[in-house]
Amino acid sequence: FVMGMLLDPVGIMLITLPVFLPIIASLGFDPIWFGVLFVINMEIGYMTPPFGFNLFYLKGIVPPGITMKDIYWSVIPFVIVNIIGMGIIMYFPEIAT
């Protein structure tokens, strides 16, 4: 989540996957489940300030009257839904696989 606010997707994957994937495999967790949670977590990072790359992409295509503050406030429900969805997938891993 925090890395998604600072880095691009390729950078996050190159830094974290070599570290976390062997740990996840050795603990007996499903790598697909981990991948789904990983992607959801990265997407939450891209929708949250201070950087929120997706928010800046959105600002480029909306009408000029819409401010970044409007975009930041409007993304809150989507972040909450993603966090709830991630919690459900963590509790019921069968959903992801």
The residue to which tokens 């809150």 are assigned: 76
The pTM (predicted TM-score) of the whole model is 0.80
End-to-end CA distance of the chain: 22
Phi, then psi, of 22 in degrees rounded to 5: -65, -35
DSSP 7: S
65 or 45: which carries more pLDDT confidence?
Answer: 65
- Burial (CB count <10 Å: 0-12, 13-18, 19+), residue 4: buried
Helical axes 31-46 vs 9-26, angle rounded to 10°: 150
Mean pLDDT, the chain, integer:
88
CA–CA separation, 71 and 76 (whole Å): 9
Domain residue spans of the chain: 3-95
**Can you give the pLDDT at residue 45?**
81
DSSP 50: T
Confidence band (pLDDT; 50, 70, 90) for 4?
low
Per residue in 38-64, pLDDT (tens digit) is 999 888 888 887 777 788 888 899 999
**Can you give the pLDDT at residue 88?**
95
Per residue in 22-38, pLDDT (tens digit) is 999 999 999 999 999 99
